[in-house]
Amino acid sequence: MTKNPKPLTKEYITSPFMIGTMRLGKWGCNMTSSEIEKFVEGCIENRLVDFDHADIYGSYTTESDFGSVLKIRPDLRNQIRITTKCGIKMVSENRPEQKIKSYDLTKKHIKKSVENSLITLQTEYIDTLLLHRPDFLFDPYDIADAFIELKREGKVNHFGVSNFSTYQFDLLHGIFPLISHQVEISLLHRKSFEDGVLNQCQKFGIKPQAWSPMGGGVLLKKSKDQSIIEIQKQISVLSEKYNAGADQVLLAWLKKHPSDIVPVLGTSKLSRIKSANDSLKIDITHEDWYLLWQTATGKEIA
């Protein structure tokens, strides 16, 4: 544990990787408070201090699990940054008033969600709030009003979105400045390389965040799918070339992009956290990057 830790700056900065919390609780390994505490300490020791939450994780319970640790270890709060997301309304015993799954990005819901997250996370402020999914009915001016009030009240420092299209991002960013965009990006999910999302992030100097950067772990497991097998064979060749693990090659492939993609790590194992940090030493060549692209798409580029 760091002695006499200094509070992190309120300037928007992220570690090279974010720590995803979705699988720490009910939706994953169901860690105890002491296990979460040790995990958070281990991440801090590896200089990874950005934790990615969402109100719905664990059917609205994972924020509380994490918050219970911060309640008994308030010193940890000044050593980490917390991102959380809102906007998805799930059917859950913890939200009995919600009868169907829907999206809600009204000012009323955003502010209510933040109030709930502040309570469950046992914190006075959230470093970054992301809108989890685009609400088909969203009013950018209504959202901007919510953001302005939350910022003025000292409840949220920064704002961003998740899973938005370039047009939806532009619409909101033109009214209120956004500082992050989290989307699914991996060797198996390459849409953002072609639909303008990564280019848009470069244009505005925003580091995109990649959820499910390992393709949901598919590329790290045995498979009967021939296309996956072919990709794994090529990853194995590059693993030997770069003296790296398959997970490190996949992360280095993402980090090669000049937008400086920030992968969200969905692991609860500190060994994987350290492995991710070590992947920063790998500089995949331009040609090897395209070699993996070609293998994943099953064809040469045009």
**Catalytic (active-site) positions:** 57
| 108 Cα distance to chain centroid | 25
Q: Are 273 and 265 a contacting pair, CB within 8 Å?
A: yes
| Backbone dihedral angles phi then psi of residue 283, each to the nearest 5 degrees | -120, 90
The amino acid at residue 111 is K
In 73-104, which positions are buried (b, 16+ CB within 10 angstroms) versus exposed (e)?
A: beebbebbbbbbbbbbbeeeeeeeeeeeeebb
In 203-214, which positions are buried (b, 16+ CB within 10 angstroms) versus exposed (e)?
A: eeebbbbbbbbb
DSSP H helical ranges for 52-189: 57-60, 62-72, 107-120, 140-152, 166-173
What is the DSSP secondary structure assignment for residue 46, as one 8-state letter? T
Distance CA 200, CA 213 (A): 19
The total of other beta-carbon atoms located within 10 Å of residue 229's CB is 11
- Here the tokens at position 278 are 């070590």
